[in-house]
Structure formats: C-alpha cells, structure tokens
Structure 1
Amino acid sequence: MKTMTTHLKKLALAVAVAGTASASMSSFAAENCPIPENVRVVIGSTSTGGDTYQNSSLVTDYLSKHLDINMKVDAVGAIPAFRALERSPNGNTIMIFHDMAYLGNLYDVNGYGNVFEKFKIGPTIAINPGNAYLVPKDSPYQSIGEIIDAAGNGEEIKVAIQPGGVSEIGFSALKNAVKREYPGKEKNVVAVNTGSQADKNQLLFNDYADVINGSVQANEQYTRLPKSDQKAMRFVWLTARNETIQQANPEGMGETTREDLLEYVTPNASVPMTDDKNFTFDKEFFFVYNKQMDQDIVKCIDKALKEVYAKGEIQKRQKELFFIPNYMPSSEAGKHLEDKMTEYKDIINNIQS
C-alpha cells in the first residue's frame, strides 16, 4: 500500500510538472504571438471567384495552419472592409487588398481615405501580373505605340475602363504618354467608363470602344478566337514589369506562353512616363491592419509568413494560379507602396493639369 501511495505521489508530481511546462509554453507562445485564436480576414472585393479572394484564401490557409489558429476570408468589399478594420484594434479582424487601397484615394473614390495614414500596412504577399489592354483582332492598331501615335495624330481613342483604381491607372499612363509625346493631344484619349469586365468586353464587341482594360486571366480565351469572330481580341499591352512576367511559369496562361506575354511588356511595348522611364504597374496584394493593433501581432504575422515562404510550397501554388510570389515584410512594404503611390499621383496630377 505504501509503495502504491509513493507511485501515486510521483505520478501526481509528474502531471503537475507537465502541466506547469505546458502552461509555460502556452504563455511563451501568447507572449511572442498574441494573435487571437479566431481571425476574420476581410477583403476589398465582394466576389468569391476573383483574384483577390483566390489569392487571399490561399495565403490565409497557409498562415492559419502555420499559426494553428482559425482564419476565415470574408468577401465584404472595400468600404465595409475598411470599416470593419477600424472597429478591430485587437487583431480579430485584418484585411487583404491590393493597390486599389491607395489608388481609390488618388482618384477621389467615395469612401477611400489615405490608407497610409488611417491604417498600418502589413506585408505584401503576391502580384497579379495580368493587368492588360486589348483591341479587337481586326483593329488597325498593331501595338500600344501605334495607339499613342494615332492619338497624337488626331484620332480619338476610346478606352473602356472601370473608373477609380487598378483599371484606370493604365489609362492615365496612356493619356500621360500622349501628352508627353504630343502635347495638347491627350484629349484624344477618351475614357468610356463602365463596370465589370463583361461590360468592358461588350463595349469592344459592339465597337463602342477601341481599347479595353482587361486581364490575362479573363481575356486570354478571346485571343484564341479567329479574326472573323466578333469576340476575337488581342493583347497590345501588359502593365506588369518585364521582371515580373519572367517569373511566371513557362506555360503562361491558357495557350499564351510566358514568351508570348513578354511581347506586351516593356521594352517591347512601351508607354513613356518620364524622359528615361517607361510606365509599369504590378498589381500587388498586401495586408492592412488597424492603426492600433499590437505591433507584436504585426511581427508575428511577418515571421510566420517568412517561414511559410521559406518552405517554398506556397510559391508553387501561387504560380499555378498565375500569381507571382512576392513576400515583403511590413517594415519594407509600407515604404514600397507609398513610393508607388507618389509615382502614380504625379501621373494623375499631370493629366489633370
């Protein structure tokens, strides 16, 4: 009996020690990564089929597994997402969005404040390299350079865009290029403002637009059609940097290879921005946080994402979905994105003056 009592005492002591060690480990984890166990990830889109949701879901899945917490993407749209973020200083709600976060403010879109002043900027995670401009396959314009020259020589060029962001920034750059090359002729580049990609496509089908903003993902299928088809299109310009496209998988998208896509970026397709620089635009996705969110949570997410990307698996998945992996920690991402904003602000101001 005495022996059994001794064993029981030893067992109780071992359980107590294990419990203390477990509590200590939990306390250490909480101290170093005080992120809530349940995190809502709002995105600046209401679509669950678009690139924002697709990319956010992928990254969130990897991040939640790495941190062993529950994270769920909620496609609420930009303005509701910003409002939800403002109400969540404790990290229960974080946001993933793209350059529209600051472009909306530059274009005076209702509800968009200065994201760099109102929020904390988190890490970048990926680039969608597919922002594109297309013409009908039977268009007389063979290149973006010919379109610039046509506007400079008095032809009206109607460009279908969705105003106020990623869709419009290329249009602004095009108009700016005409102004630089042919001062006073930029008025010949005319925006046809519309909504969805389907709306922009329809304007091209019906000859109400000469050029449309689209994407490699959404419009590549139309570039395979024969010239006689009313819906047949071809690319004339991708706004992404040459280095960005070079990182895509060799097979590219659909039947358009990476080598094919490189024909539509600088220097093969050039839209002058300054005397010595062509315009480029990479659509980048990044985290946005409440201004008051604990800096330790910021560091925690940075560290976790760094470790996720170090493994290399997420990059393969992103490239399969035609995203370019682009992890940049918060400490670098904020300045990088502000620099982009300043550059594009100059273009917008130039065509408005």
Structure 2
Amino acid sequence: MKSGESSDSSGAMGITNGHSKSIFILFLLIFTPKVDSSWWYIGALGARVICDNIPGLVNKQRQLCQKHPDLMQSISDGAKEWIKECQHQFRQQRWNCSTMDRDHTVFGRVILRSSQEAAFVYAISSAGVVYAITRACSQGELKICSCDSHKRGLGSDNNGEFEWGGCSDNINFGIKFAKAFVDAREKMVKDARALMNLHNNRCGRMAVKRFMKLKCKCHGVSGSCSLRTCWLAMSDFRLTGDYLHKKYNNAIEVTMNQDGTGFMVADKDFKGSTKNELVYVESSPDYCIKDSKTGTLGTDGRECNKFSRGLDGCEVMCCGRGYDTMPVKRVTSCDCKFKWCCSVECKVCEDVVDVHICKPSMRPEQKLSRRPGQISARLTQ
C-alpha cells in the first residue's frame, strides 16, 4: 500500500471514529431518562460537548461555559472529585451517594426531594467547584486567573512575624466564579427549594475557605528560620468533606417565610443561627426499600459490619431484614520488605474472609406467608 493511501485510510478512520462518538453522545442525550437536568452531569462528558448539547445548563451557565471552556474542563474534573468525596462520606450509610448511569441528574429522583441528603450534595458540589477552579488558577492552567500575589508586607501568627511572599491560592476568584456559575439556576426561581439550594451552595463555598492554611519557607543561617516567607494554600478536600458531613448530621429543618425572601426554623425552640448550617425542607425518604417514586435504591445486597452497632452495622444497614454470610477470597500485599535501594517488595497473599450482605426486601405476599419466629431467627444470626 502506498504511503498516501495509508494516510487517507487513517484520516477516514478518524472521521468514522469522530462520527461514531457523536452518534454515541446523541444517543445518550436522547435516551437518557430525564428527571430534571443538572450541571453536575458536566463530569460525565467532555467540556467541549457540554456547552452545546447537555441539557441542564441555564443560559448564564451556558454563556460562561462557552466563554471559558478551560474553566469548564476544571469543573468537569472537579465534579468527579466531589462525587467521589460524597461517596466516601456516606459509604457506611443507607444512602451512599449512589450515582445513576446515563441520568442527567446524576443521583436520580432521590435528589429532587428537599432533604438533608440534597442539602449535603449541593454544599459539596459548590465546594468542589471552588476547589477545582482555585487549584487550576494556582497551577497556571487558566487564562483568566493565576495565583494570588496581592498579599505583601508583614504578617504574624503564633510563631511570630513573617513576610508575605510566594503566591497564595486564589480562593476569592474560585468563590466568585463558583457563585456565578453554580447559583445561576437557583436565581431564576423563587421558591423554598431554590432558597435552600442557594443557602447550602454558600455554605459549601465558605467551607473551602475555612480550611485555608498558612504555608511558610524558612530563611536564615543553617535553617534557623529567623525569617519566614509565607503564603495561603488550600487544605486537602477531605477536610471540607468531613466538615460538611458533620453539618449534614446537624442540618436544620426550615420553612420559607410568608414573603418568600428567607427561612424560618421549623423548631420554635431553636435559638441559634442558620448562617453557617446546612438546611433542609423535607424529611428524608425511607432508604431501606427500593422505590421508583422516590428514587431510593434500598439496601438489598449492601455489605454490612456484623460487629458494628453504628450506621454500618448489619442491624441498622439491613433495616432489620437480617443478612447472609458468604466467604470471599481477597488478595492483599503482605510480608513487605524494604530493599536497598530504594524499593519495597511484597508477597501476594490470598485470604478467605466472611462478608455479610443485607438480605433482600420481601414482597407483601411473602410477609403474609412468613411463619412466626422467622424475623427473630434472622436478627440473631
């Protein structure tokens, strides 16, 4: 085959692959079950496609997307991170931040309820955008921003005086852009859910700023640290996730006031402030049983901890249905030794461990036909 023919063939193949990819994306957009689209879906497809095709972006978001495609790529990458963090925080609970394949809402119908779980998701997603944009600014990946070099002069902390230097993480730009992009949809309507989302979005943004930390470099004879140069940097996103999860556990139920401009706490005896707390409007659905109306997946088949009395324990996780025990082979690294220089060599070990899995929910006819004593028999396993 001639070299020219080889090139043409390669080009044709590229066109075919590109055409096939376009058809696949169009298939996703047409046949994805649509409940209520969200910008969260930005993590599922490439940023170039999102601006033009993905439903869920309101006009202002679409304009920002088209104007700053590099920022959208950062948000897309960040979306994967905050969803992963959400799943880490809820890994031992009945609702475990499950995502739905090919669903524009990412989490399915369950997120449409104005519950504590929805409050957390909006907060962590807003925090994720702040974190992703701020990090990209500092790493020089964006045209519109860079790290923050405005802090100059002397400062002080518990260790004494220092000189501002280096380049701090540009958290203020991250917060500003996140507010403009994430809040755009909620500002188009005035109802209790929109107010709830805006409030929790703000809590998420402020959570990232809360964990900004001072980093310093010492100068002086033999590292005496007689002079320090310091700058501000974001902490690991895990700290933000842990903080928001605590806020989730203490979230406050609210109702919209009569003029529709703010909230009233449902508990009349509540004396504190809701400013930095997550808020919700509706009680959570029953996450024990799969229900297509609420979008809950149930806990059938979930792994539980037989020896725990906490949320991950079989009694709580399985909602009293009992559990099955099965042996599972697991491969781990063992007998690791340091080898000079400079590596670690490990053996591969296989262990058989007992895994406990929640029993499935019973249908109504099964409950009626079950003999007395079967419930207690299951719970005493």
Interval of TM-score (by shorter of Structure 1 and Structure 2): under 0.3
The structure with the largest alpha-carbon Rg is 2
Give the TM-score normalised by structure 2. Answer: 0.20
Give the TM-score normalised by structure 1. Answer: 0.21
